[in-house]
Structure 1
Amino acid sequence: MLVLALGAFPVGLLRGVVENRVSAALHTKVAVGSVTRDGVFSYTPVVALRDVRIAQPAWAGQGDFVRVSALRVRVPVLALLTGRFRPDRIAIDGARIALVRDASGRANWEPDGSKPKQGGASRPSLSDLSVTNTQIVLRDAKRQLVVAGPLSVDATHGLRLAAKGSFRDTPATLALTGGRIAGIDPTAPYPFAVKLSSSALDFAAQGTMRGVLDTRHFSATLRAQAPTLKNLDYLIEAGLFGTQPIDLNGTIRHDVRDWYIDRLAGTIGRSRLTARATVHKYGIRTAIDARIHASQFDFDDLADSKGRAEAAARLARIGPRVIPPTRIDLSKLWKTDGTIRFAADHVLSKGGTVFDSLSGTLNLDNRMLTVSDVVATLANGRMTGTIRVDHRSGLPKLAIDMRLAGVTLERLVGKPDMIGGQVRGHIVLSGQGETVREALAHGSGKAAIVATQGHVQRMIADVLGQSLSGAVAHAISGPSETVPLQCLIADFRGSNGVLVPRPLEIDTGSSVGRGTGRIVLDGERIALTLAGTTKSRALLRIADPIQVGGTLSAPSISVAGVGASDKPSAGGVFKVLGRSLGQALGITKIDPSAGGSTPQRFDCQAAVTAALR
């Protein structure tokens, strides 16, 4: 009798149960006009619901979330009674569905904020679906997407949605198509295509779901064009940033909560790249494993027009800088871990760059970012080492440990006719701040370069040795003559953003010099004094030492108040003659603190070892 009663169960009695259960699940008011069934006896009856109204949650505003004139579903009676509601046939007529999501990501179709769980995915069960006279309205404040249009599903044309509206305040159309859902195997591959067209983003994806309307398992090919990568991020919500215009295509797979980027290729501005990646979800955390290769890469492409305008305004306000203003704040990545291996074969920059290529491995672990195995090749030589950012507490803590090898003084100084030779270096700096520039402005550590062979223009060596007689003679008779560069030590030790030479020494074939002063990283200001002596007896000494000032990006050099930013000339040397003669004759008084002590010869090998340690 019980079995027979189930086959003839009066489903109309479930109207109140349906209203209460759906109301509790959606946290809003639900009303059902009537619940009836087709036929007197069936264990899988077709149940008809009429005048169904689901109100919007209070936060979403006035009106209805869902309004349906007629809804017909076929479902086993036992499933109805136990709450395991998985119909295999659905027919909808005269519906209006208003999907709403606010700027924080709260959505009316996910009222409890629940997200798909890893594993345990149920298999699709829907074999027949028809939708007629139905309108879809989407207001997604987080994506800045507002569209509305008709939705239909029939046995002839399959699934069709054609919506119009706006995306990021620009006119947009959204088209969604899918295969027919009529007498099909619900677990068979289901084709789909989606296209969003606007001046802010032109996005198209075409692929296959594992089963009918199984959005948790699918693969697709995609194409995206936009003025900036940030516009694509509004759609896919992957935490991307503003860039120059993009043109990307690729192949992706989605498995419950995990994403697989099997291939991604295209351009960002002038940069050309290929990539592949996996993105796994573990609880609330995200783990990324990616490889990125760029045949050519321009750092300027990683800023959009607004970012470039801000950089230009900053440049006009403070002038050129060597230390970049790159942000190192990791606060928004507290749920992200992973490894990204990157390589750029050719580095570009409109303002010019010393880098030819760049590669390394980026590892992020609970707001600890380590960029290891860094190799930056230059026109000659390369930089290698590690960069670390620790943002687990307080301000980001930056630590840099880089070595320089094979670079030439000609390239470093930019005056090949004045000085030449190979340079080695070691930079170990650390500091706190939200950008690299801010962190190093308060940083401590060392920055050292050394050279143990090369050449120096002889007149430069005379100026360094403060031999006015030698400088005048060589300026007239042999301005291009050179002497050996036997040793150069520039070992700067820093504290709270101030670098002081410990030591700054140079030994040429004809002179020895030593420097004092400081370099202030906050503003990159240079204030150094180079005093020297000739290895042979000078008939007349230059009255004042060499002064190095300006900034790291635009240093200036002067001798006795005469600028020598370019190579010293005979005219410049003669301008110093009067002051030096005045000192020799006791006419001109000299500040005794201006020149410091007379430098002595130094142990080059010991100084090199200490500087590179």
Structure 2
Amino acid sequence: MPGRGWRGAAAIGAYVVGGFALVLALGLAAFPFGQFRSLIEQRLSARLGSPVTIAAIERREVFSFHPTITIRELRVPQPPWAGNGDMARIERADVTFPVLSAFLGGFRPTALTISGARLNLVRTRDKRKNWEREPRRRGDAGGRASLTRLVVRDMRISYRDAAQDRAVVLDVAADPVHGLRASGPGIVRGSAVRVSLAGAPLAGNDGRWPFRATIDGADLAMTAAGTMAHPLDTGEMTLDLETRARDLKMVDAIIEAGLFETHPVHLAAHVERRAAKWIVSDLTGTIGQSRIVGRVTVDKSGPRTGLDGEIHSDLLDFNDFSSPGSEAAARAEVRAHGPKLVPETRINIYKISHTDGRIAFRATRIVDGDKPSPLTNLSGAVTLDRRLLVVDPLRIGLRQGALAGRAVVDQRDGAKVPKVTLDLRITGSSIGALAGGGGSVTGRVDARAYLVGRGSTIREAVGASDGRIGLAARDGSLPHKIAAALGFDAGRALLANESQRAGLRCVVVGADVRGGVGKVDPFIVDTSESRLDGAGTISFPSERLAIRLTGAPKRGSVLRLPGSAELAGTIREPDVVVPKQVKSAGNIFKAIGRAITGDQGPRATDADCAGLAAKVLR
């Protein structure tokens, strides 16, 4: 019958396929790996970029689907750019693995015994690694280790990293009883440390695999204790981290997060790694006397690193975020050139080329060393998107009033120097609060600055900026003698009672800035007794003042000096210079003569304080 013929053919086909599969399985079970030593050398050489040699490859069992092979005298020379000698030399390695998965492209050893190994690992200043021919793809967390048994005897690993100025030499041992152990001396940024690592035995760890790693030194101490999802599976782990260091730059030598020099730090955090995502929670600690808590998530699963986090401080001292060396340099700068209003804060983000994200921040109390700060609190958020950094919102509380606005650092065009935009307002403050305490002059202060310029620091950007700055003080008071002096009335200034007060109608200063030089218009100090007008320039980044001052009283003067004065010096250290001809004996006699005749020139009128303030604060 036809059906019986087809069934017979199918049966014969099944026997043939089954027989072929059996022959293939028997072939794999007895595969002579030693005959493929040259091919294995070629494959390893191509992968490592250096000529690999193997003295012998032997199969321990004649027949097994889970064979153990012995590799003798494996040698990998250093690539020329990494130095002389060998990158790796292993006297003997016994590897057990499932043969079928190996032929299907998934070599996953289950047992490994290494005897007499020397590894010399090198990373150059440009982050080139001698153990990677090609950089690992972003988001690649590495494969899960499949080992259930690890034995290591007489193994030493030497690691030198020029990119982070760190090095370590580790003696490594492992066995089924004591687990994995490694320890040895190291150096981090010139400071000696001792590094140690301990992990549980691999066998019998069906659950999470516990480990502990420490770095112990005078300038850096770090402890990480936790568990991995599987032995040696760094792609899935949870750990508690604690560190003490002389500054954040030392910590950065280990974690490579782009941190900077600071005062000494003590930080602790809970860390989870889920493949390409790092979750840092329960971050607490101190930097100098500043206290911080927070969280951050780092996601490297895509082509760009993503950040999301928030930081809170109940005590913040900006001095803690600079090093003793930079503080000494800043003091030397002040001694040489005087104090500056605009900070020298570095804002160049050119090297942050593959990171985006958002970090919110808040500080509820700000101090300045051991004394109060004119700043009281701080809040805002930093957003980074392809080298466009935006601080918005930004709010800084003052002793009275607040500074608020936004700042933008734009390097999207790949320029080495960023374009910086500052759009800031001060509202509801006072002369006393901005001066750092009390004082004899009072008044409400509002201010506005809109500047756009290129620079790697805020000071440099302002020094090359275009835009406008303005300040208006209203409805205050000042000593009567100062008001008289502003009107160049030397007589009333000398005769005024110390307790007498005059009204401060307004102080209005505005400047159009071009190329870092602000042309002052207007410059008015209007009091109940006098009015002072000025014209000139404010130059950045030197903050040098060059303003000619003329004043007039609003009522009859006792002794009015003709002429003008110069406002020189800097914003933080102004200096009023009275020309010699103004204070000369001849000019004084001229003033006396005019006082006798009653011809002392026109009197000042009230300025349009509201209109002028609106103009400079727009």
TM-score relative to the length of structure 1: 0.89
| Alpha-carbon distance between aligned partners in 2 of 1:414 and 1:148, rounded to the nearest angstrom | 54
Contact 1:463–1:542 (Cα < 8 Å) also in 2? no
Q: Secondary structure of the equivalent of 2:293?
A: strand
Q: 1:21 to 1:82 in 2, by over 3 A?
A: farther
Give the letter aligned to residue 293 of structure 2: T
Selected match of 2:202 from 181, 196, 200: 181
Q: 1:540 to 1:71 in 2, by over 3 A?
A: closer
Aligned to 2:388: 368
Give deviations 1:295-338, integer Å, cap 9, x for gaps.
Answer: 22222222223322322332232222111111121111122221
Give the letter aligned to residue 568 of structure 2: G
Q: Secondary structure of the equivalent of 1:466?
A: coil
Aligned to 1:581: 589
Aligned to 2:428: 406
Selected match of 1:431 from 430, 450, 453: 453
Does residue 457 of the first structure (1) align with residue 479 of the second (2)? yes
Selected match of 2:278 from 259, 265, 272: 259
Contact 1:163–1:174 (Cα < 8 Å) also in 2? yes
What does 1:51-450 correspond to in 2, within 5 Å? Answer: 51-115=73-137, 117-118=139-140, 122-185=143-206, 188-350=207-369, 353-393=373-413, 394=415, 395-413=417-435, 418-450=440-472
Does residue 611 of the first structure (1) align with residue 608 of the second (2)? no
Aligned to 2:24: 2
Q: 1:421 to 1:143 in 2, by over 3 A?
A: closer
Q: Secondary structure of the equivalent of 1:295?
A: strand
Q: Secondary structure of the equivalent of 1:607?
A: helix
Contact 1:384–1:403 (Cα < 8 Å) also in 2? yes
| Alpha-carbon distance between aligned partners in 1 of 2:394 and 2:432, rounded to the nearest angstrom | 24
Give deviations 1:561-605, integer Å, cap 9, x for gaps.
Answer: 699xxxxxxxxxxx8997433245389xxxxxxx99975433222
The structural deviation recorded for 1:412 is 3.4
Give deviations 1:358-410, integer Å, cap 9, x for gaps.
Answer: 22111111221111121111111111111111123443222111111221123
Give the letter aligned to residue 550 of structure 2: A
The structural deviation recorded for 1:354 is 2.1
Give the letter aligned to residue 52 of structure 1: L
Q: Secondary structure of the equivalent of 2:42?
A: helix
Give the letter aligned to residue 480 of structure 2: R
Q: 1:586 to 1:508 in 2, by over 3 A?
A: closer
Q: 1:140 to 1:596 in 2, by over 3 A?
A: farther
Give deviations 1:116-166, integer Å, cap 9, x for gaps.
Answer: 6448x6544211111122222222332333322321111221100121243
| Alpha-carbon distance between aligned partners in 2 of 1:424 and 1:116, rounded to the nearest angstrom | 49
Aligned to 2:9: none
| Alpha-carbon distance between aligned partners in 2 of 1:456 and 1:561, rounded to the nearest angstrom | 27
Q: 1:11 to 1:183 in 2, by over 3 A?
A: farther
The structural deviation recorded for 1:175 is 0.4
| Alpha-carbon distance between aligned partners in 2 of 1:266 and 1:491, rounded to the nearest angstrom | 44
| Alpha-carbon distance between aligned partners in 2 of 1:562 and 1:273, rounded to the nearest angstrom | 59
Q: 1:439 to 1:165 in 2, by over 3 A?
A: closer
Contact 2:581–2:587 (Cα < 8 Å) also in 1? no
Give deviations 1:251-302, integer Å, cap 9, x for gaps.
Answer: 1122233221112211112221112101112544222112111222222222
Does residue 530 of the first structure (1) align with residue 549 of the second (2)? yes
Q: Secondary structure of the equivalent of 1:90?
A: strand
Count of paired positions: 589
Q: 1:34 to 1:320 in 2, by over 3 A?
A: same
| Alpha-carbon distance between aligned partners in 1 of 2:372 and 2:515, rounded to the nearest angstrom | 30
Give the letter aligned to residue 61 of structure 1: G
The structural deviation recorded for 1:352 is 6.8
| Alpha-carbon distance between aligned partners in 1 of 2:235 and 2:401, rounded to the nearest angstrom | 50
Q: 1:562 to 1:153 in 2, by over 3 A?
A: farther
Q: 1:400 to 1:167 in 2, by over 3 A?
A: closer
CA-based RMSD: 2.7
Aligned to 1:489: 508
Selected match of 1:505 from 502, 507, 524: 524
Q: 1:33 to 1:386 in 2, by over 3 A?
A: same
| Alpha-carbon distance between aligned partners in 2 of 1:409 and 1:30, rounded to the nearest angstrom | 75
Q: Secondary structure of the equivalent of 2:449?
A: strand
Q: Secondary structure of the equivalent of 1:420?
A: coil
Selected match of 2:53 from 31, 38, 48: 31
Q: Which runs of 5+ in 1 are unaligned?
A: 564-574, 588-594
| Alpha-carbon distance between aligned partners in 2 of 1:432 and 1:159, rounded to the nearest angstrom | 54
Contact 2:366–2:372 (Cα < 8 Å) also in 1? no
Q: Secondary structure of the equivalent of 2:43?
A: helix
Q: 1:559 to 1:461 in 2, by over 3 A?
A: farther
Q: 1:154 to 1:505 in 2, by over 3 A?
A: same
Aligned to 2:7: none
Q: Mean Cα displacement is larger for which, 534-543 or 383-392?
A: 534-543
Q: Secondary structure of the equivalent of 2:588?
A: helix
Contact 1:452–1:487 (Cα < 8 Å) also in 2? yes
Give the letter aligned to residue 590 of structure 2: G
The structural deviation recorded for 1:180 is 0.3
| Alpha-carbon distance between aligned partners in 1 of 2:376 and 2:150, rounded to the nearest angstrom | 58
TM-score relative to the length of structure 2: 0.89
The structural deviation recorded for 1:32 is 2.0
Give the letter aligned to residue 270 of structure 1: Q
Contact 1:154–1:182 (Cα < 8 Å) also in 2? no
Q: 1:184 to 1:398 in 2, by over 3 A?
A: closer
| Alpha-carbon distance between aligned partners in 2 of 1:132 and 1:292, rounded to the nearest angstrom | 46
| Alpha-carbon distance between aligned partners in 1 of 2:439 and 2:323, rounded to the nearest angstrom | 40
Give the letter aligned to residue 381 of structure 2: T
Give the letter aligned to residue 525 of structure 2: I
Q: 1:144 to 1:611 in 2, by over 3 A?
A: closer
The structural deviation recorded for 1:505 is 2.1
The structural deviation recorded for 1:559 is 5.3
| Alpha-carbon distance between aligned partners in 2 of 1:203 and 1:562, rounded to the nearest angstrom | 69
Aligned to 1:11: 33
Contact 1:320–1:553 (Cα < 8 Å) also in 2? yes
Q: Secondary structure of the equivalent of 2:260?
A: coil
